[in-house]
Amino acid sequence: MKIGILSRNPSLYSTQRLVEAAQARGHETKVLDVLRCYMNITSHAPSIHYKGEELKDFDAVIPRIGASVTFYGTAVLRQFEMMGVYPLNESVAITRARDKLRSLQLLARKGIGLPITGFAHAPDDVQDLIKMVGGAPLVIKLLEGTQGIGVVLAETQQAAESVIEAFMGLKVNILVQEYIREAQGADIRCLVIGDKVVAAMKRQAKEGEFRSNLHRGGNASLIRITPEERSTATRAAKIMGLNVAGVDILRSNHGPVVMEVNSSPGLEGIESTTGKDIASLMIDLIEKNAALGKTRTRGQG
């Protein structure tokens, strides 16, 4: 097969591993900088050009689209779908997962466990917003933030009011969430491929930090997840419509709660922690499912 990998940086670990895994199984690969793709949007012969040449005869495409280029990246992916190319994750699913508010509302509608969450732009009563999620300590997040950026833990009522008012002054949308104290700065990253959790790791925040992101100094270790956690992760990925997803779960006193569903989970941390060949499992999913025009949405939405 001929597989395109939409990645702005061919030297990234995840991109290199996908290239290696695909080539090891005899497939041809081409890494494409999504921002350098340009499209001819027409009814009967949609096409994508790259560096002066038309991209032809691709069987599948793997989107590794960064959050900062979601709009253009999903437009390019949608064009591939219009051309009948099989996407490992579909454009609609990626757009859905990248919208924090939309994804939380969809998960809540289907009964997935979530932290108590408030959403606001310019609330008239900040104290009522804080009370709504159970009071301080609480977590305040920029709706557009990624990788732990724009996430603040407010430990007191006064601090919470000050941070919320500061964000309001910037005219930004915010999420206010209960702080799951019992998680003790740890979360679980479940890697879902197809309808299975193929790997899981515990990410522990460094001393004095509540964000467990590995690039913020957190450390990762193997963990055995419960059947409830496994079910929560696979259901969350399915609700988003993602074939491949990193589902971040906290262990709370009232069961597993989903923090986020990531449509382009990094491979380095999970592969090095678990010793599993995640990249090859992703290629295996493509081999089993890639067929001309085999997308659920066929580029709609």
Domain boundaries, the chain: 2-95+284-289, 117-179, 182-276
Q: What is the pLDDT of residues 120-179, one digit of tens each?
A: 777 678 889 899 998 989 999 887 655 556 788 888 999 998 988 888 888 888 889 998
Q: Summarize the annotated binding site for ATP as residue ranges.
A: 141, 178-179, 187, 211-213
Residue 52 one-letter amino acid: G
**Rounded mean pLDDT of 12-20?**
96
Q: What is the pLDDT of residues 85-119, one digit of tens each?
A: 999 999 999 999 998 889 999 999 999 999 999 98
CA angle 98, 115, 239 (to 5 degrees): 45
| Options 3.40.718.10, 3.40.50.20, 1.10.10.10, 3.40.640.10; CATH of 2-95+284-289 | 3.40.50.20
Q: Summarize the annotated binding site for Mg(2+) as residue ranges.
A: 248, 260, 262
Name the pTM for this structure.
Answer: 0.87
* Domain boundaries 117-179, corresponding CATH code: 3.30.1490.20
> Residue 166, SS3?
helix
pLDDT given for residue 232 in this prediction = 97
Q: What is the pLDDT of residues 278-291, one digit of tens each?
A: 999 999 999 999 86
Q: Summarize the annotated binding site for Mn(2+) as residue ranges.
A: 248, 260, 262
- Mean pLDDT score of the chain, rounded to an integer? 88
Q: Summarize the annotated binding site as residue ranges.
A: 141, 178-179, 187, 211-213, 248, 260, 262
Q: What is the pLDDT of residues 21-71, one digit of tens each?
A: 999 999 999 999 999 999 999 888 899 999 999 999 999 999 999 888 999
Buried/exposed code over 200-239 (b: 16+ C-beta within 10 A; e: otherwise): bbbbbbeeeebbbbbeeebebeebebeeebbebbbbbbeb
Q: Which CATH architecture has domain 182-276?
A: 2-Layer Sandwich (3.30)
Q: How far apart are CA 171 and CA 6, in angstroms?
A: 33
Over its C-alpha atoms, the chain yields an Rg (Å, rounded) of 20
Residue from 167, 151, 150, 63 nearest 115 by CA: 151
| H or E element in which residue 261 lies | strand 255-262
193, β-bridge pairs: 196, 244
pLDDT given for residue 183 in this prediction = 82
